[in-house]
Amino acid sequence: MSPRITKKAIAQFFKRGWQQRPAISRDAATTGIVLAVVFVSALVLRLLPLRWGAYLSEFDSFYHYYIADYMVRTLPDLSAYQRLVDTKFWYPYGRQVGPTTPPGLPATAALLYVALSKLGISVSVLDVCIVFPPLMAALSTIAIFLLGREIADKRVGLLAAALLATNPAYISRTHLGFFKHESLGILQIIMILLFCTKALRADDKRHFVVYSLLCALMQTYLNITWGAFYYTLNLLSLTALAMVVIRKHHRKATLFIAIVLGTSCLLSTPVRRTANIAFSLGTLPALIMMFVCIVLTVLYLLPESRPHFTAPVAVFAASAVIGAVVFSGAMPLPLAGKFVATLNPAIRSPLVASVAEHRTATWATLYHEFGYLLVFALFGMYMLAKKFREPDKMLLLLYGVTGSYFSATMARLSLVFTPGVCLIAAYGVAKLLDEFRKLIRKRRTHIEIPFIYIVIILLLLSIYAYRGVSSGYAPVTIAASSIPLGSGYRGQYMDWVEAVEWMRLNLGQTAVVLSWWDYGYWISVAGNCTSLADNSTVNQTQIALIGKFFLSNETEALRIARMFNVTHVLVFTCLPVRMGYGEEGKWRWMARIAGLNESALVEDELRNYGIDVPRGDTVLGSMLLMDTQWSRYAKELKYFKLVFKSSNGLVRIFEVVYPEEM
């Protein structure tokens, strides 16, 4: 007969369980509290733009929200987007969404929205997309804490988390509404490095396989989320190759990279965007390194035949690299232009070079993003180099070396390097403090000197944190009309918000709006109109025609407009506020992409006033100069009628009036 279950028995059961619980040490509790403070701080810093309203930020964020909303509407078929050809973008040919859109980010937001809805939390897809980046950034601080603790100790983990939470470059890419690949991709990169470290340090075979598979799955997740997956694939392969070369856990490293590379490439093939990932230019170096790892490992297993195999292996490796380079030049490979431009910054097209984040970085930009962390990171790399034979130190050291190069060749890639800088700098600071502690204990110097150095370190880190807080307190792009303004902004430049609202209410999706490609997503998604070009820049020929339209006379421009059935033309200018962020700062790139002679298009007389605009007899010159104090230089437009002008005159929309004979 079973014992009777009473309230007293239940109470005694839970009382015994509570008394037998493992005690939480004061040290663990302190660590948890500090980590919680860092998590909340990272979240709050990125929510500061709420002061100016809850909007999506930048341009790509609007498109990713559009796809997330489409996925929600087509559930449960998450793959419906892969078959979509949307003529709302890149009219009249449309955009093939599947091959040009990584699904990881919008799919994650869509599933998060569905989960919240199932829990009874009433939110919109737009709300989820706006809050998503700060949440992912806060989770990244926990992930980098785990990574830092795994590589060194909890001190390094906590400091790395605090540095990442307040990093200006990372805040600028994960603040409220910045719904782009980076917001999720950085978290994925940290998790990949964490699983890689655990796999390479695992003593148990079962743990090794589990963590290798987890790393492969996270790499697959990154593959379908962000183009930066090429970097992690090659970083892991380079780490494995280095371990094989120094014969440190070489069999484990070879098996690890084979599992990660093979599994992630195989699982990525169902997604159209990454269907040919194994044959892409960015993956070729990783495949070559994996192949060399396998050959060298086999060579090590045959010590008596090693002298006979050394020369063939060297010849094979060199031939494989040369063959891959030659072969890649004849293959239609995705992202080849950007990938080659990353390896060699001297090789880039005018379209790639016209994007500010694709340009080579300068010391000023690197210092702005990392500040004094660069000094501590250099010392950290030195300390890592002293222990390079350990797998985790080797991984972090190679991350630092390669990340330094690529962040210098392309400004945007400094974000990929941000977790590495924070982690390596935290490691360097911890080692510095250890050295000072040794000095104090051995009393080889005056006790005041180490304390002075410690205070200096804390002051430098405080300045870094202050810059991070300042960078977070700024309005999102559309709320400041694409003008970089700080915390002193009072909301006086809401011109783009007015413009997209006017388009949505007065034009609708049947209107075909021609503009420079920067604003295509705002026009299509926020304004609900059809655009000719956008930030995906998938059709350089069409972008060149748009540039030619703006820099032609009215007759030639009208002919180009008729080719695309354009109903309206939008221009953005900052001439009324003399800031230079509008078309007056972009028209030279229009000329270069269109293959025109920019020097022949300059309005020479206005250069005496410090204004660089195209001639007044071009369509763009007339649209920029009309209704300004320099309107006498503009030619009156016959076929383009001004129908909207924002409150500050920054955004202007013209209706195309075609003559009857056309």
Cα maximum dimension of the chain: 104
Task: Return the residue matching tokens 């390097």.
Answer: 417
Closest C-alpha to 56, from 140, 139, 137, 128: 128
Domain boundaries, the chain: 218-471, 495-656
Cβ–Cβ < 8 Å for 623, 629: no
Closest C-alpha to 402, from 392, 393, 413, 386: 413
Q: Which amino acid is at 308?
A: H
Q: Which amino acid is at 136?
A: M
Q: 495-656: which CATH architecture?
A: 3-Layer(aba) Sandwich (3.40)
* CA distance to 24, 286, 495, per residue, from 345 (Å): 53, 21, 36
Q: What is the pLDDT of residue 8?
A: 64
Element of type H or E holding 322:
helix 306-328
Task: Return the residue matching tokens 């000095």.
Answer: 439
State both tokens at 514. 């021609």
Q: What is the pLDDT of residue 575?
A: 87
Q: What are the helix (H) ranges across 410-525?
A: 414-442, 448-472, 495-506, 520-521
State both tokens at 142. 């926990």
Spatial distance between the Cα atoms of 115 and 135, rounded to a whole number of angstroms: 15
Cβ–Cβ < 8 Å for 89, 517: no
* CA distance to 47, 235, 257, 424, per residue, from 314 (Å): 54, 21, 20, 33
Q: What is the pLDDT of residue 334?
A: 41
Spatial distance between the Cα atoms of 511 and 508, rounded to a whole number of angstroms: 6
Using DSSP, state whether 569 is helix, strand or coil: strand
Q: Which amino acid is at 26?
A: R
Spatial distance between the Cα atoms of 44 and 166, rounded to a whole number of angstroms: 11
Q: Report phi then psi at 568, rounded to 5.
A: -145, 155
Mean pLDDT of successive 10-residue stretches along the chain, which has 662 residues = 57 56 69 90 91 91 96 87 92 92 95 94 95 96 96 91 89 92 95 96 92 97 94 94 86 93 94 88 88 85 57 56 48 46 55 54 67 85 91 93 79 80 92 77 59 62 69 84 80 92 92 95 96 91 95 94 96 86 90 90 80 89 88 88 94 92 62
92 cis-preceded (ω within 30 degrees of 0): yes
Cβ–Cβ < 8 Å for 97, 67: yes
Spatial distance between the Cα atoms of 83 and 74, rounded to a whole number of angstroms: 12
Q: What is the pTM of this model?
A: 0.87
Q: What is the pLDDT of residue 655?
A: 96
Spatial distance between the Cα atoms of 177 and 109, rounded to a whole number of angstroms: 13
Closest C-alpha to 234, from 402, 389, 361: 402
Cβ–Cβ < 8 Å for 44, 176: no
Cβ–Cβ < 8 Å for 633, 627: no
Task: Return the residue matching tokens 């993956």.
Answer: 283
Q: What is the pLDDT of residue 616?
A: 86
Spatial distance between the Cα atoms of 91 and 191, rounded to a whole number of angstroms: 39
Is 83 exposed, middle or buried, given 0-12, 13-18 or 19+ CB atoms closer than 10 A?
exposed
